[in-house]
Amino acid sequence: MTFENDSYEKSDSSTAVTGELMTDSDRQSHKRAVLEHALGVPFTNNNTLRILRNGCQIFPAMLEAVRQANERIEFLTFVYWTGDIAVEFAEALAEKAREGLCVRVLLDSYGAATMNDDLLDAMREAGVIIRWFRPMATWKVWRSDHRTHRKILLVDQCIGFTGGVGIASQWEGDAENPEQWRDTHFQLTGPCLEGMHAAFLGNWVDEGRLVEPDLMSPVSLPEHVRLPGSDIFENVTIQVLKSSSALGWSDVATLIQALLFSARREVRIATAYFVPDPVLIDLLAATVARGVSITVMLPGRHTDQRVSQLGGEDGFRRLLDAGVTLLLYQKTMLHTKLIIVDGELVCIGSANFNQRSMQKDEEISMVVDSVAVAERLNADFDADSEHCEPIDFTRWTQRSLWQRAGEVAMKPFKQQL
């Protein structure tokens, strides 16, 4: 789905409520209505959200929830590699299976390919049910290129986690040095878990297998689940979007378009991989042209995907010329996935601002309608900005021939990045 810029501007600026211009509250309701209309997914109320910054907060919260599980655990991840945290997660999941809980683990067969076989064997022996999403050794090569990039942990169907973090040593610590990645994850309760469970279920049955009866049971929603710790926000309104890895334009791309069209003052983007296509580059430029400030924060010298960087850099001149601010995070690898619109709406989840997330991979995204959450994440964005270097337009236009050659070489492969 695409949007016409002129028609949207007219509806946003001239829509009247009882004959008067819209108030801030009216505009916020209008933004939600635009997103619901564009994506066909309603917002849910009465959710609780906890912000977890870096592995030092993320992993203890996830492991605590796993160890306190009473009925079942469902875990889906793209990355499960090596390190102490990989062992700790495998042992925690295996222990709950030995206690008699139903523990399901779904791993992407590409992203988790290097996982230690000993950990897989130990979990299976304990009774953990393990499946691989779209095994690479298949004659259906067109399916192998479409991965699940989702990160979902559901415990007893009453506590959930999602965001950008994978299970590997790179995410341990507090992003204090280049060996510790910078990331943000979220702990959630409430009706939004239904959308998270649907995303897990859709990938779990991808190979066409029958669904286990208990998986089809509705998500239990206790009246109130207390989340421990700080940075907790209650009564939050959330929209959950599970985009599928079909050929062509996905719901993630539609979501990003809708967020940019809804912006009136400011858009702040943090992403691990920034490879927009020409349509989105033009949309970013057009959004700035109508008076919206746009800042994009992406990895600098510390990155695990230099090829992906090159794939996005050929669009930098157009963006800089349009007035988009580009910041390179220099402290460590930036893996955060975040879009903040007007200090009101926040898009979180597993999707990057790249063509794989928008055209090829299965993702989970959430739009959080909360000024308080946006304010808290804006503070994190400000703190991260202190470790960034802006890209200067003049210096960028004078970049080396080697740099330009690399950008040209990556053009045929941008849909893979």
Q: Is 170 in the same domain as 220?
A: yes
Which residue segment(s) compose the domain that 127 sits in?
Answer: 48-234
Write the CATH number for 56: 3.30.870.10
Q: Is 124 in the same domain as 217?
A: yes
Summarize the confidence of residues 375-394 as an average pLDDT.
Answer: 93
Please report, rounded to a whole number, the percentage of residues in the chain having pLDDT higher than 90. 60
| Structural domains in the chain (count) | 2
Confidence of residue 248 (pLDDT cuts 50, 70, 90): low
pLDDT over 90 at 284, yes or no: yes
In eight-state DSSP terms, residue 169 is G
Q: Is 249 in the same domain as 214?
A: no
Please enumerate in sequence order all residues whose Cβ is within 8 A of that of 99, keeping only pairs 6 or more positions apart, or say none. none
pLDDT for position 149: 87
Identify the domain boundary among 203, 234, 265: 234
Q: Is 274 in the same domain as 289?
A: yes
> Which of 38-42, 121-125, 180-184 shows the lowest mean pLDDT across its residues?
38-42
Query: Nearest CA to 11 among 36, 31, 40?
Result: 31
Q: Is 56 in the same domain as 198?
A: yes
Confidence of residue 404 (pLDDT cuts 50, 70, 90): low
Q: Is 24 in the same domain as 89?
A: no
Q: Is 301 in the same domain as 409?
A: yes
pLDDT over 60 at 265, yes or no: yes
Summarize the confidence of residues 348-363 as an average pLDDT.
Answer: 84
Average pLDDT, the chain: 85
Q: Hey, which bits of 124-231 come out as E strands?
A: 129-133, 152-155, 159-163, 184-189
Q: Three-class SS of residue 167? A: strand
| Long-range contacts from 87-92, C-beta under 8 angstroms, 24+ separation | 87/119, 88/59, 88/63, 89/62, 89/63, 89/167, 90/119, 90/122, 90/123, 91/122, 92/63, 92/66, 92/67
d(CA 389, CA 232): 31
Q: Is 127 in the same domain as 276?
A: no
Q: Is 229 in the same domain as 250?
A: no
pLDDT over 50 at 6, yes or no: no
pLDDT over 80 at 394, yes or no: no
pLDDT tens track for 66-104:
999 999 999 999 999 888 999 999 999 999 999 999 999
Q: Is 205 in the same domain as 106?
A: yes
Higher-confidence residue of 56 and 1: namely: 56
d(CA 150, CA 240): 13
Q: Is 197 in the same domain as 246?
A: no
- Is the pTM above the cut of 0.75? yes
Q: Is 223 in the same domain as 318?
A: no
- Cβ distance 25 to 113 under 8 Å? no
Identify the domain boundary among 234, 255, 273: 234
Identify the domain boundary among 234, 265, 300: 234
Confidence of residue 3 (pLDDT cuts 50, 70, 90): low
